[in-house]
Structure 1
Amino acid sequence: MLTGITIAANAQSEQYQDAMKQQVGLLDSSSTYSAAGMQQLANTFERIAEAEKTQWLPYYYAAYCRVNEAYMAKDKSKVDGLADKALLNIEKALALRGKDAEISCIQSMISSARIAVDPMTRGQQYGPESGAFLEEAKQLDPGNPRVYMLQGQSLLYTPEAFGGSKAKAKETFEVALQKFAAFKPESAIAPNWGEAYVKQLLAGIK
């Protein structure tokens, strides 16, 4: 009887791995890099998460897609709703995984997304919150390239009067690229996004 259960579990985990590989492969594709593309991917990751309730990665990726959808939203009144969905997913990932640099990075992105609704009034609250999550991520995993990518992005888009700077952003992106060169993801479906985006932002600065 146990053998049957093991075979079923292995088949299920293989099916899970295949489904995840396919979706994760789409994350860096230009065809999905739009609000509609991110929404579609988020929906798929949420369906996988519901089927695989013990796995943290589908919730993590669903949160990643939702927060990107929030960044891309033309209608600012939709941002908080999308950020809330991202938060719900990342909290589920956190409950399964525990503290993790990748999760802290998404939490930072969610705080940053909320600033865009009204930068003048929200910057004071969500700016420090976003920065605190990145500091937490850096402490959890100093080698994680996404920490430096997000710090660089923050420096690039923060006005100089509030501590932003293209020169500092450029330096931070260069550190991110060094970290990417040394980074080894835990598995074929573990977080490994961002390098192409850093190169794109760097090219824009130069």
Structure 2
Amino acid sequence: MKKYLLTLTTVLWLCAAFAQNDKYTNAMLPKIALLDSNNSVDEWKSLSNAFERIADAEKTKWEPYYYASFCMVTAGSRAMPTDGSMGDNTKISDPYADKAEQLLDKASALSKDNSEIYCVSKMIHSLRMRGNPMARYMTEGAKASEALEKAKKLNPYNPRVYILEGEDKYYTPEQYGGDKDEAKKLFEKAKDLFSIDKAITPTEPQWGQGLVWYFLSQYK
């Protein structure tokens, strides 16, 4: 009888655990599906807030904090001026970067040495640099490069590493090291890696294919 009760307790515990996991996955997937969309600044912020609420409720999952950070830094990038201004726009960039960094720190505390987390760290440092390129290139620019190299070292098969590297080559003027032909090679590498980049769970990062298609379409 005691053995039966122990077995029944184990089964009930497993059922509860699976149900909780299903609830988490069902909450995450509709939001993850929006990551390759052309969202507005406000939509990215709203999506970040939604992921943060899930993260705070779960407490032990790194992915929702990661996605919340990704969405916030993307919102910041979208909020930046598009006129090529090299002036001081830190009042725009830094609040987004600060919030994104806070969220990413929570993700990192739950998942050490994670290539995906270093990719978003690169994005945050790049956003800070864009806030004042002339003053921050040597500091935030260097930190962005270091984060991307760390991401590549941790997982050289991560397609998002090459998307971010390709974006830098694509948008940087030639006199400062930009090269659109080299960028194309990086986007093509990312495209190839997506064919073998199979997430173990449905909530792991898979974003970026839309960006690859967009950039490669610019060469046609």
- TM-score computed with the length of structure 1 as normaliser: 0.93
Picking from 35, 45, 50, the partner of 1:39 is 45
Q: Paired residue for 1:22, among 19, 25, 30?
A: 30
Percent identity reads 42
Tell me what 1:131 maps to.
145
> Contact 2:166–2:186 (CA<8 Å) still a contact in 1?
yes
In structure 1, C-alpha distance between the alignment counterparts of 2:53 and 2:12, rounded to whole Å: 26
Q: Structure 1 stretch 45-54 or stretch 16-25: which is displaced more?
A: 16-25
Q: Is the 8 A contact 1:166 1:205 kept in 2?
A: no
What's the CA shift for 1:78?
Answer: 2.5
CA deviation vs aligned residue, 1:137-193 (integer Å, no higher than 9, x gap)? 111111110000100001111222221111111111111111112211221111001
Instruction: Tell me if 1:70 matches 2:76.
Output: yes
User: Residues of 2 paired with 1:135 and 1:74: CA distance?
Assistant: 25
Larger RCO, structure (CA 8 Å, separation 6 or more)? 2
User: Distance between the aligned counterparts of 1:205 and 1:160, measured in 2?
Assistant: 17
Q: Bigger CA drift: 139-148 or 71-80?
A: 71-80
Stretch of structure 1 that moved more, 2-11 or 139-148: 2-11
Contact kept? 2:92, 2:131, Cα under 8 Å: no
In 1, the alpha carbon distance for the partners of 2:147 and 2:43 equals: 27
Matched, 1:122 2:136: yes
Gaps of 5+ in 1: none
Q: How many residues align?
A: 204
Query: Displacement of 1:10 after TM fit?
Result: 2.6
- TM-score scaled by structure 2? 0.87
Corresponding residue for 2:179? 165
Structure-1 residue corresponding to 2:17: 9
SS of equivalent to 1:15: helix
Q: Which runs of 5+ in 2 are unaligned?
A: 1-8, 82-88
